[in-house]
A and B are shown apart, each in its own frame.
Chain A
Amino acid sequence: MSEIPAELRYRQSHEWVRVDGDVAVVGITDHAQDAMGDLVYVELPDVGQVFAAGDEAGVVESVKAASDIYAPVSGEITEINEALDDEPELVNNDPYAGGWLFKIKMADDGELKEMLTADQYQEQIDSE
């Protein structure tokens, strides 16, 4: 069973969001990292880049395959997790904390309501 923290919001494409004031911290879920296998490369956006919700914002690559990362909410990138450059395995080992990917200053926190709750995300992966 993969871990799905109750306090986070989720996108169908397996990103999670933790809200910290007007900043959304973004990562990929435990379920997603488990399905990808060992990550070996993470391509992150640049600080200052602006995305609309649903835009491609990065790529995670495992030994098996590459998978796009989508911006779950609209806004500007304020910080990226530079530790992943040397240690992409942080995403496997600690997907909800040390393995975060980037932070977005949210343009519209109303978009959070469109995202899945932990229960809804659980239902989605149960039905996959």
Chain B
Amino acid sequence: MGQRTPLYDAHLAAGAKMVDFGGWDMPIHYGSQLEEHHAVRQGVGLFDVSHMTVVDVAGKDTRAYLRRLLANDLDKVGEGRALYTCMLNERGGVVDDLIVYKIAADQARLVVNCATRDKDLDWMEKQAGGFAVDIQERPDLAMLAVQGPKARAFLQDLVCDDARAALGELPFFGFAQVGSWLIARTGYTGEDGAEIILPGDKAPELWQRLTDAGARPAGLGARDTLRLEAGLNLYGNDMDDGVTPWEANLGWTVALDDPDRDFVGRAALETQKQKDHPVLRGLVLEGKGVLRPHQGVHVAGGSIGPDGETTSGTFSPTLGQAIAFARLPAGTTGTVEVEIRNKRLKAHVVKPPFVKNGKAAYKTI
């Protein structure tokens, strides 16, 4: 038996099919992954993401520590703002990707992946040597994601006055603390909405209130097709300890502006930036079929063997076509061929996101 979130019973009551995910018993879907996907694109979907690992960092060296640990620069945002970033190893490989919430000059909250929890906590402790910081995992907290074009307005009708006001004012990637809740305008679906981090014992009541009002529970299956359509990477698929942000289409999360900020992995990244390196691009399959991870990709004029490989792939419910991320040689453009069951099928190289505001949004390159 895996670990259970405070919403385990609520999932069963909603008809969830449960699967193991990084040691947790989590809902993969509640009957139809496709319908859940469309609910998030068109209305309001509700995800239990309490399996994610929440880590609080506090102490007078919080700023200095996080500017050393993280490849993005927390100085770029003010208090009450969140930032998407990677933490890297010395070779520039991605230890994990995460969202960091800047609560105060000496206080921040990080949300990291559950599958990498042990590795991340060890790494964070190891990098903390010499810094006056306290690193505290928060297994007492649950996390709900309310996502969809109607999600924020929907939530506003169901929460206290302070939370309602906060939801109305939050900028994208802004957050507010209301009582014991942290409400953030963040997510992993490409839709508007909010993520709420709250005490685990309060989560079932909120879940009930939201589903009673019509939010559709959505499982990890829909979460994966939604994030891929939105052009968002998945750790373990699209990048890992041996892949740098340059190779994972995450260059935009690396802050090199301040020459004096010596974050872990910086030297390796600066060296690689000068050279040709593989890149992560989007693929859209031209005909019928489904793209999956680890399919070989052949580029025009390439070698006999595959020149690249898909890292994530799925059928896009919004586009009605197969989409993927693929790691390809630098400069790959136009059309490539993907190996699917000993056939080679044509796919177009594109710049993600694949879907925005419920419609096709990719650009061929």
Contacts from A to B (Cβ < 8 Å): 37-38, 40-41, 43, 59, 61, 63-66, 85, 89
Contact check, A66 vs B34: say whether CB atoms are below 8 A apart. no
Contact check, A63 vs B33: say whether CB atoms are below 8 A apart. yes
Nearest-neighbour CB distance to chain B for A38, whole angstroms, equals 4
Whether B150 sits at the interface, judged by CB under 8 Å, is: no
Nearest-neighbour CB distance to chain B for A116, whole angstroms, equals 25
Choose, from B48-56, B118-126, B284-292, the stretch at the interface.
B284-292
| A59 proximity list for chain B (CB < 8 A) | 341
Known: A37-B33, A37-B221. A63 touches B292 (CB 8 A): no
| A85 proximity list for chain B (CB < 8 A) | 288
| A37 proximity list for chain B (CB < 8 A) | 17, 28-29, 32-33, 221
Known: A59-B341, A64-B221. A41 touches B292 (CB 8 A): no
Contact check, A66 vs B290: say whether CB atoms are below 8 A apart. yes
Contact check, B317 vs A63: say whether CB atoms are below 8 A apart. yes
Contact check, A61 vs B315: say whether CB atoms are below 8 A apart. yes
State in angstroms the CA–CA spacing of A38 and B221 once bound together.
Answer: 11
| B17 proximity list for chain A (CB < 8 A) | 37
Specify which of A37, A65, A66 lies most central, judged by the most chain B CB atoms within 10 Å of its CB. Answer: A37
Contact check, B32 vs A38: say whether CB atoms are below 8 A apart. yes
List 14 other contacts, CB 8 Å, given A40-B317, A41-B290, A63-B225.
A37-B28, A37-B29, A37-B221, A38-B32, A40-B34, A41-B289, A43-B289, A63-B33, A63-B34, A63-B221, A63-B315, A64-B28, A65-B292, A89-B34
Known: A37-B221, A40-B315, A41-B315. A61 touches B32 (CB 8 A): no
Which 6 A-B pairs give the minimum distances between C-beta atoms?
A40-B315, A38-B34, A61-B290, A63-B33, A41-B290, A38-B33
| A61 proximity list for chain B (CB < 8 A) | 289-290, 315
Q: How large is the interface on B (under 10, 10 to 19, 20 to 34, 35 or more residues)?
A: 10 to 19
| A66 proximity list for chain B (CB < 8 A) | 290, 292
Contact with A along B258-284 (1 / 0, CB 8 A): 000000000000000000000000000
Contact check, B32 vs A40: say whether CB atoms are below 8 A apart. no
| B29 proximity list for chain A (CB < 8 A) | 37
State in angstroms the CA–CA spacing of A73 and B317 once bound together.
Answer: 34
Nearest-neighbour CB distance to chain B for A56, whole angstroms, equals 9
| B32 proximity list for chain A (CB < 8 A) | 37-38
| A43 proximity list for chain B (CB < 8 A) | 289
Specify which of A41, A43, A63, A85 lies most central, judged by the most chain B CB atoms within 10 Å of its CB. Answer: A63
Nearest-neighbour CB distance to chain B for A118, whole angstroms, equals 24
| B33 proximity list for chain A (CB < 8 A) | 37-38, 63-64
Nearest-neighbour CB distance to chain B for A8, whole angstroms, equals 25
Smallest CB gap from B290: residue in A: A61
Contact check, A63 vs B314: say whether CB atoms are below 8 A apart. yes
Smallest CB gap from A40: residue in B: B315
Nearest-neighbour CB distance to chain A for B292, whole angstroms, equals 7
State in angstroms the CA–CA spacing of A65 and B29 once bound together.
Answer: 14
Known: A59-B341, A63-B34, A64-B33. A40 touches B290 (CB 8 A): yes
Nearest-neighbour CB distance to chain A for B45, whole angstroms, equals 15
Contact with A along B312-342 (1 / 0, CB 8 A): 0011010000000000000000000000010
State in angstroms the CA–CA spacing of A36 and B314 once bound together.
Answer: 14
State in angstroms the CA–CA spacing of A43 and B315 once bound together.
Answer: 14
| B341 proximity list for chain A (CB < 8 A) | 59
Smallest CB gap from B34: residue in A: A38
